[in-house]
């Protein structure tokens, strides 16, 4: 009986379409993001066509091939000098999860296929969030734990909540030198890396992600929420108040009392509100007392004849002093008029009218003078 097994093997090698690789690639991607699948091949296949297919990899399952370069949400690039090609799937959704194949087309012999398993997850992190507080212009340290198997992996920190872009937007990584505001240190004994942020500002508040990079899997993250509090407002120094006539000296150990400007406003405004009506009341009382005193003096003057006379005499003296110059002018005018009259009527003795006029003028002045003490008696 003929042994058909060797014949079937040869026949399968000729007519079968593919040769599957035993290795399986595990690829992870984030929802609404892109994923890159890297497929390697042996030397000698640089000029062969490469492609990416899904499910059973039949003719209808081919998604993209190097002769197309780009097709809808798929693209492909062949790096011949490095013997691998990449297939990119953009705008991932959960329906993209599944089995894919990296293929290399060969003529008359089966294609080379490598299995790829793609898993799509949400672009969020994490269920547990650590809260840290810091002060403006101060510094804060963020401690991030990791497993011992990641001791030699790259560590980093970024702002935000999206793991997909964290490494690309890292503020500092374990292979970077410290910069002005960020430093990173790795304590391998405690399996903790610490990121220190100095010269904090209010804008530094927000979510952060501590990341550990893994080559074939998604990076591992832990979430931190940082709150930066504003620095206290500058305070005003108030020294102890001393009473009038006393001098106090502060001892070397005595410290000034610090009162904020807001406390001044709290104390000053009510005091001002109370002082305004008190000041108005004092002014009204003073005005009323002045009016009453003035009325009393006027009443006393009206009731006392002697004071009325004295007041009249005083006013007369004042009138004489004020109107002294006016009297002199009147006397001169009168003398001039009498002299003209005497000349008009042919008076021979010019001295007599002048003497009489002077006597009359003196008498008028005497009558207007205040009576002397002897005369009043």
Q: Is residue 335 part of a domain?
A: no
Residues 192 and 209 in one domain: yes
Residues 50 and 75 in one domain: yes
Of the candidates 185, 201, 229, which is a domain's last residue?
229
- With H, G, I as helix, E, B as strand and everything else as coil, classify residue 377: coil
Residues 145 and 111 in one domain: no
- Specify the pLDDT at position 178: 78
Q: Is residue 336 part of a domain?
A: no
pLDDT digit string (tens) for 103-154?
A: 999 988 889 999 999 999 999 988 899 999 999 999 999 999 999 999 999 9
Residues 212 and 219: beta-carbon distance below 8 Å? yes
- Specify the pLDDT at position 117: 95
Residues 258 and 163: beta-carbon distance below 8 Å? no
Residues 136 and 113 in one domain: no
HSE at residue 104, side-chain half, CA atoms within 13 A, is 22
**Total of domains in the chain:** 2
What does the DSSP 8-state code read for residue 149? Answer: G
| Dist CA 267 CA 269 (whole Å) | 6
Pairing state of beta strands 50-54 and 220-229? unpaired
Comparing 275 with 226, the larger pLDDT belongs to 226
116-125, 176-185, 230-239, 354-363: which has the minimum mean pLDDT? 354-363
| Dist CA 307 CA 134 (whole Å) | 87
pLDDT band at 290 (very low <50, low <70, confident <90, very high): confident
Q: Is residue 68 part of a domain?
A: yes
Mean pLDDT of 43-59: 92
Report H helices in the chain. 5-15, 261-303, 305-322, 324-344, 351-368, 373-376
What does the DSSP 8-state code read for residue 46? Answer: T
Q: Is residue 306 part of a domain?
A: no
Residues 55 and 110 in one domain: yes
What does the mean pLDDT of the chain come to? 75
pLDDT at 160 over 60: yes
Q: Is residue 182 part of a domain?
A: yes
249: tokens are 């000296």
| Dist CA 215 CA 25 (whole Å) | 12
81: tokens are 């000098």
Burial (CB count <10 Å: 0-12, 13-18, 19+), residue 331:
middle
Residues 242 and 248: beta-carbon distance below 8 Å? yes
Residues 153 and 215 in one domain: yes
Residues 28 and 116 in one domain: yes
Cis peptide before 238 (omega within 30 of 0): no
| Dist CA 346 CA 7 (whole Å) | 188
Residues 224 and 136 in one domain: yes
Buried b (16+ CB within 10 A) or exposed e, 58-79: eeeebbbbbeeeeeeebbbebe
pLDDT band at 261 (very low <50, low <70, confident <90, very high): low
Residues 339 and 353: beta-carbon distance below 8 Å? yes
Contacts of 21 (CB under 8 A, 6+ apart): 112, 113, 114, 115
Q: Is residue 70 part of a domain?
A: yes
pLDDT band at 287 (very low <50, low <70, confident <90, very high): confident
- Supply angle C-alpha 30, 31, 34, rounded to 5: 65
Comparing 32 with 317, the larger pLDDT belongs to 32
Of the candidates 199, 229, 259, which is a domain's last residue?
229
What does the DSSP 8-state code read for residue 173? Answer: E
Neighbours of 263 (CB within 10 A): 13
Q: Is residue 320 part of a domain?
A: no
Residues 191 and 224 in one domain: yes
Residues 238 and 256: beta-carbon distance below 8 Å? yes
Q: What is the CATH number of the domain that holds 173?
A: 2.60.40.10
pLDDT band at 176 (very low <50, low <70, confident <90, very high): confident
CA distance to 15, 109, 113, 170, 182, per residue, from 12 (Å): 5, 10, 16, 52, 62
The residue segments making up the domain with residue 205 are 129-229
Q: pTM of the prediction?
A: 0.54
Residues 142 and 218 in one domain: yes
Residues 163 and 113 in one domain: no
| Dist CA 63 CA 52 (whole Å) | 6
162: tokens are 């999206």
HSE at residue 249, side-chain half, CA atoms within 13 A, is 2
Of the candidates 229, 258, 276, which is a domain's last residue?
229
CA distance to 269, 331, 365, per residue, from 326 (Å): 62, 9, 12
Comparing 231 with 145, the larger pLDDT belongs to 145
327: tokens are 């009297």
Strand ranges, E, within 122-219? 129-135, 140-145, 155-159, 172-173, 182-187, 192-197, 206-212
pLDDT band at 20 (very low <50, low <70, confident <90, very high): low
Residues 45 and 109 in one domain: yes
Q: Is residue 256 part of a domain?
A: no
What does the DSSP 8-state code read for residue 110? Answer: P
């Amino acid at each position: 009986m003929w042994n058909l097994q060797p014949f079937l093997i040869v026949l399968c090698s000729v007519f079968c379409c593919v040769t599957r690789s035993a290795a399986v690639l595990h690829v992870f991607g984030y929802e609404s993001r892109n994923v890159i699948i890297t497929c390697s091949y042996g030397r000698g296949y640089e000029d062969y066509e490469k492609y990416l297919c899904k499910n059973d990899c039949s003719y209808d399952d081919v998604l993209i091939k190097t002769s197309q370069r780009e097709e809808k949400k798929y693209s492909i690039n062949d790096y011949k000098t490095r013997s691998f090609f990449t297939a990119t799937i953009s705008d991932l959704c959960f329906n993209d999860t599944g089995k894919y194949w990296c293929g290399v087309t060969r003529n008359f012999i089966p294609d080379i296929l490598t299995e790829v398993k793609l898993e799509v997850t949400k672009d969020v992190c994490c269920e547990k969030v650590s809260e840290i507080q810091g002060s403006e212009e101060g510094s804060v340290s963020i401690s991030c734990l990791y497993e011992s198997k990641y001791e030699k992996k790259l560590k980093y920190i970024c702002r935000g909540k999206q793991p997909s872009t964290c490494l690309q937007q890292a503020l500092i990584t374990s292979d970077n030198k410290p910069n002005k505001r960020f430093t990173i240190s790795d304590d391998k004994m405690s399996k903790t890396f610490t990121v220190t942020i100095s010269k904090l500002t209010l804008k530094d508040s927000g979510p952060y992600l501590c990341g550990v990079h893994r080559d074939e899997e998604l990076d591992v993250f832990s979430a931190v929420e940082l709150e930066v509090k504003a620095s206290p407002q500058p305070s005003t120094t108030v020294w102890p108040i001393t009473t009038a006539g006393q001098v106090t000296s502060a001892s070397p150990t005595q410290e000034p009392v610090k009162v904020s400007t807001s406390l001044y406003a709290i104390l000053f405004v009510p005091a001002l509100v109370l002082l305004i009506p008190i000041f108005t009341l004092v002014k009204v009382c003073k005005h009323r007392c002045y009016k009453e005193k003035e009325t009393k003096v006027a009443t006393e003057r009206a009731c006392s004849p002697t004071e009325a006379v004295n007041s009249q005499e005083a006013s007369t003296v004042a009138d004489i002093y004020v109107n002294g110059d006016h009297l002199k002018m009147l006397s001169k005018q009168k003398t001039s008029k009498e002299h003209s009259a005497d000349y008009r009527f042919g008076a021979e003795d010019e001295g007599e009218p002048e003497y009489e006029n002077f006597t009359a003028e003196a008498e008028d002045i005497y009558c207007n003078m205040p009576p002397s003490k002897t005369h009043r008696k």
